[in-house]
Amino acid sequence: MPLPRQGDELLITIFQRANISEVTLRSLNHCRIVWRLLFLSDMVAANGHQIELKFLSPPMILEPAEFDLNFAEEHPSQEDWAEWAAFWGRFTYDGLYLESLLGKWVETTHRKWEWAYDATNNIVERKTEEGVAYYSRAGGGRTRSETIQVQMVSYNDGRALSGVPCSVKVLDANSICFHSFGPPLALSPAEPDDFLSFLKDWGGEWMWRNVHNERQNLKWVVEAMQEGTAIWVTDGSYNREVAPKVSGAGWLVYCT
């Protein structure tokens, strides 16, 4: 997967560069996997300036998953979480600020941004299962640089977020502290028009050249695989000594 933000890094790369022991590395990975983290941007606030404090502790049991990818189940110990928090304390400045800020989004991210900020109307949006809830600033409420927002209204009509990603701290069921907002997310690539185009997007275009299908589409392949009636036969040849840059392969799918 490409790095989602400018200045981004894989967390495992950061761990390896830190020259830590294998024991510490295992502790960090236990906690990373529980949060389903891959990149630094997965745990950094929307503005790209600092790590969000919540990621230094175990996720809440009832908290919705913030990432699309699934990871193996892990059960970090209290010592693992202490090592995890200590590592990021050493990695950042006071307040969990990064040495180098993250820039704009350049690729799609597997992080699901639940909150967005509509700068035009100065409103915070929250994506719900049915639609969007809207929050506005409470009169006079302010915690240092964070403004307190309260829910005004919620629409259950399937609408999408219209603002840019933002970071908040949830205070209760109807109020939040607004922290910061960042650049818009990178747009997902357009969906392929057909299944063969989808396959070519995965690379290895040579495999899909000269494909002959006796039917109108490839739906029968899916059905044959689901029903267990598909037979896939493949063969190829390669002789490094005779022709190191030449090879051949062919395949056939048949439904019984």
Per residue of the chain (256 residues), give pLDDT as tens: 899 999 999 999 999 999 999 999 999 999 999 999 999 999 999 999 999 999 999 998 656 668 888 888 999 999 999 999 999 999 999 999 999 999 999 999 999 999 999 999 999 999 999 999 999 988 654 444 568 889 889 999 999 999 999 999 999 989 999 999 999 999 877 777 777 777 777 777 777 777 777 777 778 888 888 888 999 898 887 777 777 877 777 878 888 8
Is residue 65 situated within a structural domain?
Answer: yes
Residues 72 and 47 in one domain: yes
* Domain that includes residue 48, residue range: 11-91
Residues 22 and 67 in one domain: yes
d(CA 37, CA 50): 16
The token pair that represents 114 in the structure block: 């639940």
Is residue 2 situated within a structural domain?
Answer: no
Is residue 134 situated within a structural domain?
Answer: yes
d(CA 165, CA 174): 19
Is residue 110 situated within a structural domain?
Answer: no
Residues 74 and 143 in one domain: no
d(CA 38, CA 175): 30
Last residue of a domain, one of 59, 91, 123: 91
Residues 174 and 236 in one domain: no
Is residue 142 situated within a structural domain?
Answer: yes
| Global pTM exceeds 0.75 | no
Residues 16 and 74 in one domain: yes
Total domains in the chain come to 3
Is residue 128 situated within a structural domain?
Answer: yes
Residues 159 and 225 in one domain: no
Is residue 100 situated within a structural domain?
Answer: no
Is residue 107 situated within a structural domain?
Answer: no
Residues 21 and 47 in one domain: yes
